[in-house]
Each structure stands twice: as C-alpha cells, then as structure tokens.
Amino acid sequence: MLLATRHAIYSAAVSTEETATFMLLPSWNNNMTTNPYASLCRKYPLMCKFPGTIPSNQLQYAKVPFWNNIQIPLSKHSWELKIIAIWNTKGRVCLNAHNNLIFIIVMSTKHPKTAPAKT
C-alpha cells in the first residue's frame, strides 16, 4: 500500500497531463496516524485528500458462485476503508470541470442519505 501510494504521488507530481488516482485503503482501529501511507499523504496536502470513509459495517464479501454448496464463514470486517484521492492540479481541475466526481464523493460522505419524500 505504501509503494502504491508513493507511486501515485510521484506520477501526479511528474506528469504534465491530468493525473488522478483514487485508492480504497484500510484504516485499522480507525487510526490513520500510524499508517505509513497516510503519513506520506499528509506530507503532500495539495496532492492528497481523504474525501471519505466506507464504514466497516457497510463492507461485504462477494458471493463466490463456484463453491459447490460449501460455505466457509468469513470473519466480519474490523476496519474501515479510507477513500484517498491523489492528483495533480490539472487532474483535480479536470475532474471538477467535467463530471463533478469529487463534489459527489465529498457531499455523500458529509451528509447522511435522506429517505425519498413520500408522495
């Protein structure tokens, strides 16, 4: 994870084109201060953002269709996934201008989903 994060930062820093990498990385014990990749991201605040978190209770294992009726119980997730965005300025501007992906991610993590209005 650290090497992938380092590569994404380096790619964004040296690229002359729009560059953006989104990563879903584990956060054990809700503590991002001890993760080496989070420390690396904090060193480059203009290029690295933490726009959101996927709580552990919303993570699910995919159902494997080829187990032939043998189910192996898997433990529940005990960690969250942090969404990490690593980009250069051109990449951030391009995403914001063309499809508002970052706005959607940030807004969906800061505001609880509301139920549709009853008609």
0.75 cut: is pTM over it? no
pLDDT per position in the chain (119 positions), as tens? 888 899 999 999 999 998 889 998 888 766 555 678 888 888 998 899 888 888 888 887 777 666 666 666 677 777 888 888 898 988 888 877 766 555 555 544 444 443 344 43
Residue 90's closest CA among 16, 8, 25?
16
